[in-house]
Amino acid sequence: MVSMQSRVIKSFQIFTRQCRNMHLLKKEAYVDGKWIKANNNAVFSVLNPADESVIADIPDMNDADAINAIEAASKSFKTWKNTTAKERSHILRNWFNLCEKHSGDLAQIITAESGKPLAEAKSEITYGNSFLEWFADTARHINGEIIPSPWPNKQILLTRQPIGVVSVITPWNFPFAMITRKVGALMAAGCTCVIKPAEDTPLSALAAASLAEQAGVPKGVINVVTSSRKNAPSVGKVMCEHEKVGCISFTGSTVVGKILYGMAANGIKRVALELGGNAPFIVFPSADIDHALDQAMLAKFRNNGQACIGANRFLIHQDVYDKFVDGFKAKIRQKCVLGPGIKEGVTCGPLVNTAHVNKVADFVDDAVSKGAKVVVGGKFAKNLGRNFYESTLLVDVKPDMKLYNDEIFGPVAACLKFSNEEEVVKIANSTRSGLAAYVFTKDLGQSFRMSKNLEFGMIAINDGILSAAEPAFGGIKESGIGREGSKHGAEEYTDIKYTLMSGLDK
């Protein structure tokens, strides 16, 4: 009889062959409208995290390649900035339409390189496409101001002008959506860009660039530089410090964000940073517990916990703590189906790589060694492969544990008990992160108090999902600078120019 593991391996071999035959699976970088290799012909392998097979070998570019891409973006900016908002809107709409048409191909690539279940990859494409659609409309609404003048013969004009070349550095957890959210906004504003996708998931970026090319995006407006971890620091340094770069847009860890911020400071460059979180998920006694549990599953286990706004600390009022923990345990056992992303019914795929799954395991082991108790999960699922970790629920979590203070970024829910509103606000705010927070209560006054008192850039009341194209996405404290999505997302890539019109009475 063929074993489960053998069937899984066989299905992945078939899937990988399908991916290799897809026309959107690109094996070259994209610079100045051309599909190219690295200057030195170096390559690195992109692996499928479920079985660690090689999906493709792609260019391992260095700082010289990055400079060439920036020069191409700078040259293109001279003409792209002068296109009309209507023309930019039309091109973005074409890109959106093509991404919609090829959503199935894009989703397969995401699943292959990131490991997330195919249904979830399709949801990411829908989410990512929503930004292209949104910014296609927003392009025509980036407005200036005419301000009443204090002088009778003068007029004050404020206009928004594109900032220039934007260095876009994106993460592996949402490899398509993080590109469309940034690139749609900067293109709407009239900017050009160089994209450096994450080493684990560059194929989604290349596929997106291919569709952008087909949509009529002029050469040099979008450039994609791919590199391995070895070359990432030197490429990143060029992208932050080159004199022709006007802005650095980065989504990723706070540690890396601080490094890039320091590099950008050398040229006093604009930065848009969306960094790590340590999101509290707060449940008060008045909450609808069944609803809170359903939303907890979304807030924690979407993308298997690999989300910056994923719930990290579950702060549950003592009056409903036992009921919530029992319900959470049952939901995890029922809903968290671990396996390869292409297998029907799977809801939680592998973590992105071995180093990451080991980090998650280390967090759990540290907590258990300091007194935390495992309610469910808590170990590797080695029967599936090296990068699979069981969906885990921990109780008796304390402040001296790593996962209390640091972002887990994995399928581990840590529950803590609180007694009153003042206490939970203090616990929730006891972090330098300030991205997202979730609150469950039926008390209207309490909802507004929590929104005011929680030190986070985004607050979701009675909901576990808050991302969309329309609202302003971003954090405070060490979770970032600037906003993405909404009209503010496009305005991040503009400078305000003040023009004084004088002598109007002459």
Residues 6 or more apart whose Cβ sits within 8 Å of residue 354 = 386, 387
C-alpha of 314 from chain center: 22
Structure tokens at 19: 């991916």
- Tokens representing residue 492 in the block: 């991040």
Sign, CA dihedral 177-338-387-2, equals negative
Cβ atoms within 10 A of the Cβ of 223, count?
A: 28
Alpha-carbon span 90 to 291, nearest angstrom: 41
Cβ atoms 237, 263 nearer than 8 A: yes
CA 100/CA 97 separation, integer angstroms: 5
Furthest CA-CA distance within the chain: 95
Q: Tokens standing for 109?
A: 């690539």
Q: What are residue 364's DSSP bridge partners?
A: none
Spell 427-446 as b/e; 16+ CB within 10 A means b.
bbeebebbbbbbbbbeeeee
List the strands of the sheet with 311-317, edge to edge: 373-376, 392-395, 412-418, 311-317, 279-283, 436-440, 458-461
Helix ranges (DSSP H) in 336-432: 354-369, 402-405, 421-428
Report residue 30 as tokens.
């994209």
The alpha-carbon radius of gyration of the chain (Å, integer) is 24
Q: How far apart are CA 315 and CA 322, in angstroms?
A: 12
Please enumerate, as own/partner, the contacts of 444-450 that have beta carbons within 8 Å and a separation of 24 or more: 446/284, 446/286, 446/421, 449/421, 450/282, 450/421, 450/425
Catalytic residues: 274
Category of 405 on φ-ψ map: left (φ > 0), alpha (ψ -120 to 50) or beta: alpha
Q: State whether residue 278 is helix, strand or coil.
A: coil
Q: Decide: 363 and 357 in contact? Cβ < 8 Å.
A: no
**Cβ neighbours of 266 (radius 10 Å):** 10
